[in-house]
Amino acid sequence: MAREACALVLAGGESIRFGSDKALAPFRGEPLIAHVLRGLRQAGFAQIAVAAKRPEKYAAAAAGAELLTDARPFQTPLAGLATGLRASRHALVFACAADMPFAAEPALIDALTAAAAGHDAAVPHAGGSLQPLCAVWRREPCLRIAEELLAAPRPVGPRAMLPLVRAARLDWADARPFLDADTPELLRQLELHP
């Protein structure tokens, strides 16, 4: 049975610390973004999309996903999130970063979806901090707030939305879904992670 929600992969970063496009870096025999998307397909999302400045470069690795152009002139994951919220055909959007190979954890997604009932967003808290780059967002209220924030002269990230929406905090003991590959060394460490 399909999960009636949109899964959105945020792939708009510049990968400055990584040195090359980390979404296309090899991970367990395939591009990292392909691994993330496969996990989301297995989680059963009815809609899967990738938001990026130049989404065409992910076409081969993201077969079957909708490619969305984040046309904002500045770099912030909030711009990609707004692009995905706008394109979503579903009320809920589970968004994760393209460098989070274990984000598509079904138990986490189920818990976030349940926590989002009666809220505009559900954001996990793990490893001592909130994880807005692996969260569930309600399309209408969050898109409105995201657009307001993006109209400001200084770009901000998704964390800036949290005080402006009814956000549920979900304490999550396992930090694995939130591990990301900001550098080639971190990606090599993730290769060894169960």
- Report the distance separating Cα 159 and Cα 86, nearest Å: 18
Average the pLDDT over 163-185 and give the result.
Answer: 95
Q: Are 86 and 95 in contact (CB under 8 A)?
A: no
- Token readout for 42 is 């297995």
Distances (CA, A) of 154 to 76, 83, 150, 157, 161: 10, 18, 8, 10, 14
Q: Is the separation of the CB atoms in 24 and 58 below 8 Å?
A: yes
Compute how many other C-beta atoms are within 10 angstroms of the C-beta atom of residue 19. Answer: 10
5-17, pLDDT tens digit by residue? 999 999 977 666 6
Q: What is the mean pLDDT of residues 85-100?
A: 97
Kindly report, residue by residue over 4-53, the tens digit of the pLDDT: 999 999 997 766 666 678 999 999 999 999 999 999 999 999 999 999 99
pLDDT band at 144 (very low <50, low <70, confident <90, very high): very high
Domain that holds residue 50: 3-191
What is the CATH number for 162? 3.90.550.10
Domain count, the chain: 1
The region, left, alpha or beta by phi > 0 then psi within -120 to 50, assigned to residue 113 is: alpha
Averaged over 105-124, what is the pLDDT? 98
Under DSSP, the state recorded for 16 is T
Taking residue 106's Cβ as centre, other Cβ atoms within 10 Å add up to: 12
User: What percentage of residues in the chain have a pLDDT greater than 90?
Assistant: 83
Share of the chain above pLDDT 70, in %: 96
Q: If we measure between CA atoms, which residue out of 85, 173, 165, 186 comes closest to residue 131? A: 173
